[in-house]
Amino acid sequence: MNFKSDNTASAAPEILQALGDVNEGAVAAYGDDPWSQKLDDAFSEVFEREVRVFTVASGTAANAISVATLTPPWGAVLCHREAHIECDECGAPEFFSNGAKLVLMEGADAKVTPAALAEAATRNARGIHSVQPSMVSISQTTERGAIYTPAEVFALGETARGAGLRFHMDGARFANAVAALQCKPADISWRGGVDLLSFGATKNGALAAESIVVFDLKLAEEVARRRKRGGHLFCKGRYPAAQFLAYLKDGLWLRFAARANALAAKLADAAGVSAESNQVFIAPGAEGLAKLRAAGAQFYDWGAEGSGEARLVVSWNQAEAEVDAMCVLLKALR
**Segment 12-41, which members bind a copy of itself (CB under 8 A)?**
16, 19-20, 22-30
Q: Is 48 left (phi over 0), alpha (psi -120 to 50) or beta?
A: left
Q: Does 307 bind a copy of itself (CB under 8 A)?
A: no
Q: Does 291 bind a copy of itself (CB under 8 A)?
A: no
Q: Which stretch binds a copy of itself (CB under 8 A): 64-72, 108-116, 173-181, 183-191?
A: 64-72
Q: Name residue 171's beta-bridge partners.
A: 199
Q: Of these, 148, 315, 316, 329, which contacts a copy of itself (CB under 8 A)? A: 315
Q: Of these, 82, 89, 170, 276, which contacts a copy of itself (CB under 8 A)? A: 89
Alpha-carbon gap, residue 43 to 49, rounded angstroms = 9
Q: Does 321 bind a copy of itself (CB under 8 A)?
A: no
Total residues binding a copy of itself (CB under 8 A): 75
Going by C-beta distance under 8 Å and a sequence separation of 6 or more, which residues neighbour residue 30? 233, 234, 235, 237
Residues between 177 and 216 with contacts to a copy of itself, criterion CB under 8 A: 202-203, 207-208
Least separation in angstroms between residue 149's CB and a copy of itself is 28
Report the residue number, 73 or 272, with the smaller CB distance to a copy of itself.
73
State in Å, rounded, how far the first CA of the chain is from the last one. Answer: 19
Complete edge-to-edge strand list for the sheet that includes strand 75-80: 52-56, 210-214, 196-200, 166-171, 132-139, 75-80, 101-105
Q: Does 240 bind a copy of itself (CB under 8 A)?
A: yes
Contact between 263 and 301 (Cβ < 8 Å)? no
Alpha-carbon gap, residue 273 to 311, rounded angstroms = 12
Least separation in angstroms between residue 141's CB and a copy of itself is 17
Which residue, 133, 130, 144, 131, is CA-closest to 87? 144
Q: Of these, 49, 81, 236, 293, which contacts a copy of itself (CB under 8 A)? A: 236
Q: Does 91 bind a copy of itself (CB under 8 A)?
A: yes
Alpha-carbon gap, residue 141 to 160, rounded angstroms = 19
Q: Which stretch binds a copy of itself (CB under 8 A): 82-90, 162-170, 268-276, 280-288?
A: 82-90
Residues between 117 and 156 with contacts to a copy of itself, criterion CB under 8 A: 125-126, 128-132
Q: Which stretch binds a copy of itself (CB under 8 A): 2-10, 43-51, 256-264, 281-289?
A: 2-10
Q: Does 222 bind a copy of itself (CB under 8 A)?
A: yes
Would you call 138 helix, strand, or coil by DSSP?
strand
Contact between 23 and 228 (Cβ < 8 Å)? no
